[in-house]
Amino acid sequence: MNSKVRTRFAPSPTGHLHIGNARTAIINWIFAGHSGGSFVLRIEDTDVERSTPESEASILEDLRWLGLDWDEGPEKGGAFGPYRQSERSDLYLDHLEMLTQKDLAYPCYCLPEELEARRKAMLGKGDTTQYDKRCRDLTAAQIRKFVGEGRRPAFRFRADAEAVSFGDLVRGDIVFPGEQIGDFVIMKSDGTPMYNFACVVDDHLMGISHVIRGDDHISNTPRQILLYQALGWEPPVLAHIPMILGPDREKLSKRHGVTSVDQYRTLGYLPDALVNFLSLLSWSSESGEDILSRERLIREFDFNRISKSASIFNVEKLDWMNGMYIRQMEVRELARHLFPFLHQAGYPVRTAEEVEPMAVIFRAGMERLSDAVEKFRIFFAEFPVPESVEAAEVMQQEASRSIYKSFLSQMDGVRDLDRDAFQEIMKNIQQETGLKGKALWAPVRIALTGRVHGPDLPGVAEILGPEKCRKFAARALGA
């Protein structure tokens, strides 16, 4: 008996990586790390209609961006491949054969339209909508007739259990009445396997020890348990984690707006913050702390600390957390993260290095990386434009004009304008004009940045440099 922990994340490539799936991936990744096991990535592309290579590529990219590296899977290989279900057809066919041999699966010639009509009728009567088993025991003649009509069969599992129960790591024992489970399709008429079937075959063959997935899969589980039993296999340990809901308390979906990982990346969220935040939905550290490094997440993870109830995605807390990560990050690294946003905004930045000083003075007020576009504008504008009536008014005041004159004369001949030099100049202006505090600083800030508020002014002036400072002050006087 191999006791090594193996978890898996099995997305279907039918769109971008969704925030809810990302959370599932995170827990799987964390638990594998926690147990010293392996994290397997498997692509469930059995839906020929909706699966696309582009989606697969984007999901892989998002996973990598989140830092959820997989030990086995596409582009990585491994001893249990292939890792795309579309490349494992033979396996499903073989196991279907095993089931039909044992008469646990049978061909069903019903057409989708026929099934749909019957399902509607059942729903109208208020019954459980499940297959009426009419193809269960077809005679050879009946089969010939269907084949003659050109029908290709799907295969259904013969579900006769009285009840199905299974243990769940977060919920304990769950029991489903057998009559609730109809004869479900395991192989489509086009020869591709259905989710429940492929999932069971692959999880077993890939040696998956723990299946950790969203609790919307709970009602699938009894069907899968039946398949494990039919195939003579031991089911893996199951853990159904609560779902993430939108603000309206419904399953998070596209109509809730921003729900995919790539959108959060574009908006300026850090992967560390997103991973930390998502891991805290339905899970909490024993210490009660919120800011947790990946190392701590991995070390402190415990299924006993996963709550059973669904949680609502609360962007405000993510914003706060992202700000915390921005503030605690090394400046060099922050600048590297900021660079693409500034570059894309059209600012003439050449290297991440030249962004560092700006990052230093503005980081305290940032929640998202993209905030830098707006905040850093003052460093790239040809001239600062007063951004409010208040600013414009202050600039016109007589007291401000005397400050600007004094500032200009103080700046005469200044070549290096570091913080201390600027501080010195301000002190001199204070003596010259008799103005101090806000009355002194606000006009200067407005002249240099066009704004009433902003970070520490000496720092701003240092980055602007003496040339611009002179130019802007003169402009303020002339305006």
Partner RNA sequence: GUCCCCAUCGUCUAGAGGCCUAGGACUCAGGAUUUUCAUUCCUGCAACCGGGGUUCGAAUCCCCGUGGGGACGCCA
Closer residue to RNA, CB minimum distance, 225 or 457 = 457
Binding track over 310-329 against RNA, x by CB under 7 A: xxx-x-xx-xx--xx--x--
Q: Is 304 in the site for RNA (CB under 7 A)?
A: yes
In our burial notation (b when 16+ CB lie closer than 10 A, e otherwise), range 40-57 reads: bbbbbbbbeeebeeebbe
Range 330-349, binding RNA (CB under 7 A): none
Between 316 and 398, name the residue whose CB sits nearer to RNA. 316
Torsion of CA 264, 267, 270, 273, to 10 degrees: -60
- Report the distance separating Cα 96 and Cα 467, nearest Å: 78
| Cα-trace Rg, the chain | 32
Nearest to 347, CA basis, from 327, 367, 385, 374:
374
For RNA, the binding residue among 6, 18, 217, 468 (CB under 7 A) is 217
Q: Is 171 a binder of RNA (CB under 7 A)?
A: yes
- Residues noted as catalytic: 254
Does position 5 interact with RNA (CB under 7 A)? The reply is no
Is residue 84 close enough to count as binding RNA by CB under 7 A?
A: no
Site for RNA in 119-158 (CB under 7 A): 119, 123, 126-131, 153-154
Of 151 and 343, the one with the shorter C-beta distance to RNA is 151
Taking CB under 7 A as the criterion, which residues in 408-437 touch RNA? 437
Stretch that binds RNA, among 203-211, 226-234, 261-269, 455-463 (CB under 7 A): 455-463
Give me the least distance between CB of 170 and RNA, in Å please.
Answer: 8
Q: Is 395 in the site for RNA (CB under 7 A)?
A: no
What is the total count of residues that contact RNA (CB under 7 A)? Answer: 92
Do residues 408 and 394 make contact, with C-beta atoms less than 8 angstroms apart?
Answer: no
Q: Is 177 in the site for RNA (CB under 7 A)?
A: yes
Q: Which span (136-144, 258-266, 283-291, 466-474) binds RNA, by CB under 7 A?
A: 283-291
Distance, in Å, from the CA atom of 196 to the CA atom of 185, rounded to the nearest integer, reads: 9
Distance from C-alpha of 114 to C-alpha of 137, rounded to nearest angstrom:
18
3-state secondary structure of 205: helix
Which of the 8 DSSP states describes residue 455?
S
Q: DSSP for 260-280?
A: BHHHHHHHT--HHHHHHHHHT
Region near RNA per CB under 7 A, out of 56-64, 66-74, 96-104, 192-200:
192-200
**Residue from 7, 28, 38, 46 that binds RNA (CB under 7 A)?**
46
CB of 199 to RNA, least distance (A): 7
**Residue 176 and residue 432: Cα distance in Å, rounded?**
85
Identify which of 238, 2, 200, 206 has the alpha carbon closest to the alpha carbon of residue 98: 200
Residue 159 sits in the site that holds RNA (CB under 7 A): no
Given a contact cutoff of 8 angstroms between Cβ atoms, the answer to whether 79 and 33 are in contact is no
Q: Out of 452, 463, 474, 477, which residue is the one contacting RNA (CB under 7 A)?
A: 452
Contacts (CB under 7 A) with RNA, residues 228-257: 242-243, 245, 248-251
Q: Which two tokens stand for residue 235?
A: 């089911």
CB-wise, 312 or 479, nearer to RNA? Answer: 312
Q: Which of residues 51-80 bind RNA (CB under 7 A)?
A: none
b/e code 385-415 from CB counts within 10 Å (16+ = b): ebbeeebeebbeeeebebbbbbbeebbeeee
- 403 lies in the site for RNA, by CB under 7 A: no
Q: Is 291 helix (H, G, I), strand (E, B) or coil?
A: coil
C-beta of 355: minimal distance to RNA in Å? 18
From the list 50, 136, 254, 332, which residue makes contact with RNA (rule: CB under 7 A)?
Answer: 50
Q: How far is the CB of 177 from RNA (least distance, A)?
A: 5
Q: Which of 44, 62, 72, 272 binds RNA (CB under 7 A)?
A: 44
